[in-house]
Amino acid sequence: MESPFKPEILKGKVALLTGGASGIGFEISTQFGKHGASIAIMGRRKAIVDAAVSSLRSLGIPAAGFAGDVRNQEDAKRVVESTIEHFGRLDILVNAAAGNFLVSPEDLSPNGFRTVMDIDSVGTFTMCREALKYLKKGGAGRKESDKGGLILNISATLHYTASWYQIHVSAAKAAVDAITRNLALEWGTDYDIRVNGIAPGPINDTPGMRKLGPEEINSMRSSDVMPLFKLGEKWDIAVAALYLASDAGKYVNGTTLVVDGGLWLSRPRHLPKEEVKMLSRVVEKRARQAPTGVPSSKL
């Protein structure tokens, strides 16, 4: 789809994306590049990173790739420094690297739980920490007139309610959202860095969807009752990222933008809808029977 944004909105910016070689991360890499940014990609698998870089370059986008694992602090430091060596500065860090698999809590080992926490939560924190000295206002590589940079954390909506077989990922993404809010407060105040997140719903044609039971969710596509309740496209997430990364989002800090067509709202509640309805009737009745002299607005 054609972009609704002007092609130069990220002109002169340098973005580093973990997990930027595939899925949602690669679409953000591509859209950021098409809107003027130079792109550095970090990923565990060198061949996939190299292929992504070639693909970006074939579109005329300045791109570089660095193999590394966000769980390894040395890798994080090396990749951030390599980005600076290559492009001279860093304006945007996108934490899109994530681990996921379906498993029941009773079958998940503590090490399996820790593995996903390490990739999603600790990895996000480590990358932010290593990037700080380049992202902060007045930081290395920044001009005096430059504002501070931006951090964008890719999250999820799983933990807003509860999700079968996703206890580890839900915990990890809840931590990511906490990192987003706390860094927005701390680094927004001290260093002029905006820190935001995006919580995608189920997105078509991604490794996550291929792994996490696509059939059930694919059937939503045919829904004509609620037209927004369908799979999203990677493009939807990338343009949300563009909005947050551009000056259009300059007053947005500490927010995780849900981009899911409203889907998480439809998750089954613990309390069935009919019971809530009954309860509301009882509450209304009690309110009507309250002693006189109490204004109805106070009930």
- Residues near ligand COA (CB under 6 A) are 98-101, 103, 108-109, 111-112, 115-116, 207-208, 211
When the beta carbons of 166 and 246 are compared against ligand COA, the nearer one is 166
Q: How far is the CB of 219 from ligand COA (least distance, A)?
A: 20
8 Å CB contact between 253 and 194: yes
**3-state SS record for the chain:** CCCCCCCCCCCCCEEEEECCCCHHHHHHHHHHHHCCCEEEEEECCHHHHHHHHHHHHHCCCCEEEEECCCCCHHHHHHHHHHHHHHHCCCCEEEECCCCCCCCCHHHCCHHHHHHHHHHHHHHHHHHHHHHHHHHCCCCCCCCCCCCCCEEEEECCCHHHCCCCCCHHHHHHHHHHHHHHHHHHHHHHHHHCCEEEEEEECCECCCHHHHHCCHHHHHHHHHCCCCCCCCCECHHHHHHHHHHHHCHHHCCCCCCEEEECCCHHHHCCCCCCHHHHHHHHHHHHHHHHCCCCCCCHHHC
Rounded to whole angstroms, the Cα distance separating 13 from 29 reads 12
When the beta carbons of 111 and 296 are compared against ligand COA, the nearer one is 111
When the beta carbons of 44 and 194 are compared against ligand COA, the nearer one is 44
When the beta carbons of 9 and 152 are compared against ligand COA, the nearer one is 152
Amino acid residing at 58 = S
Q: How far is the CB of 111 from ligand COA (least distance, A)?
A: 3
What is the CA 98 to chain-centroid distance, rounded? 10
When the beta carbons of 10 and 24 are compared against ligand COA, the nearer one is 24
- Would you state the structure tokens that stand for residue 266, as one six-digit string? 């439809």
When the beta carbons of 188 and 208 are compared against ligand COA, the nearer one is 208
When the beta carbons of 109 and 292 are compared against ligand COA, the nearer one is 109
8 Å CB contact between 96 and 27: no
Q: How far is the CB of 44 from ligand COA (least distance, A)?
A: 8
When the beta carbons of 44 and 142 are compared against ligand COA, the nearer one is 44
Q: How far is the CB of 209 from ligand COA (least distance, A)?
A: 8
Q: How far is the CB of 274 from ligand COA (least distance, A)?
A: 34
Question: In whole angstroms, how far apart are CA 86 and each of 64, 83, 139?
Answer: 8, 5, 17
Q: How far is the CB of 133 from ligand COA (least distance, A)?
A: 28
Q: How far is the CB of 268 from ligand COA (least distance, A)?
A: 22
Q: How far is the CB of 45 from ligand COA (least distance, A)?
A: 10
